[in-house]
Amino acid sequence: MKPSTYIYPAGVTGKVLGGMVEYVTGKTPIFIDDNIDTCGIRDYAKVILSQGASVELAWDKRSGLNHQTIFKLQDKLKELSIPYCEDSMLFYARESVKKLKSQIALKGWKQVLGIELGGMAEDKHLGFLDDKITEFSKGGIKIVYFCGTSEAYQRIQEKISQESLDSLAIFLPCFYLDLVDYVDVLCKVSWTPKNTKISTIIVGHSLADFSSLFLKEQEEKLDYLCIASPKFMPSGGGGIYPLWLFGV
């Protein structure tokens, strides 16, 4: 029997990694949380070692947001002689992207829009973008959602299920969107560097003021910027996403 998959630490990044692990392997991982009695790394140490297992470290190296925490956890793992993988986020992000590509190919989808769901304000500032794209294209444009939080993933999965949508969703944080190469257009809410292989649209908050933004300085982040009002237009010019990008 294969050993269980252990994710350390539990938390925002841990939940995202766990979602990717479950999508790729089909098995629910075990989350290690030092803040919960009987669920800490010292509680699991014996069983992990007896199984010959290792720990998947929930270290988002690309964002740099949890480096200091991870360094402390690495010290604990070394003290307990527990082997661990520090590149689990990248590994499972790649495997998730690969599996999604296969699913899309099996479905025979020809036109695909990727939408990033970052989870902020329940992604309400995206409005009904996905619904309108599906409506205007009469279902010809298929949508895949890349979710950066477990809450965003749960919400969109509920929508897909309740509305019987022909869409797909996976966990994939914004810093790993560059791994995707099979959507025609990528709609983002984050200002991370764009995927150079795909036309990228950034949808700002409806009240965001981009009037002081110089687009020339943002070329590495976007191809198109969607804004709510002419008075918020960047000083360097701007525009909204054109439907001809999707072949409509």
What is the DSSP secondary-structure string of 140-184?
Answer: -EEEEEEESSHHHHHHHHHHHHHTT-S-EEEE--GGGGGG--S-S
Residue at 98 is within a domain = no
CATH number at residue 122: 3.40.50
**In the predicted model, what is the mean pLDDT of residues 85-107?**
97
Q: Contact at 8 Å (CB) between 23 and 170?
A: yes
138 and 240 belong to one structural domain:
yes
Residue at 95 is within a domain = no
pLDDT, one tens digit per residue, over 126-155 is 778 889 899 999 999 999 999 999 999 999
Distances (CA, A) of 72 to 16, 21, 67, 85, 134: 20, 23, 9, 15, 47
pLDDT, one tens digit per residue, over 162-196 is 999 999 999 999 999 999 999 999 998 887 878 88
135 and 42 belong to one structural domain:
no
Last residue of a domain, one of 59, 90, 121: 90
Residue at 102 is within a domain = no
Q: Check pLDDT > 90 for residue 239.
A: no
What integer pLDDT is reported at residue 244 of this predicted model?
37
232 and 157 belong to one structural domain:
yes
Last residue of a domain, one of 90, 121, 145: 90
150 and 239 belong to one structural domain:
yes
Of 53-57, 63-67, 109-113, which range is least confident? 63-67
Choose between 99 and 205: higher pLDDT.
Answer: 99
- Enter the pTM of the model: 0.86
Residue at 97 is within a domain = no
Host domain of residue 20: 6-90
150 and 231 belong to one structural domain:
yes
82 and 115 belong to one structural domain:
no
Total count of domains within the chain = 2
**In the predicted model, what is the mean pLDDT of residues 68-77?**
95
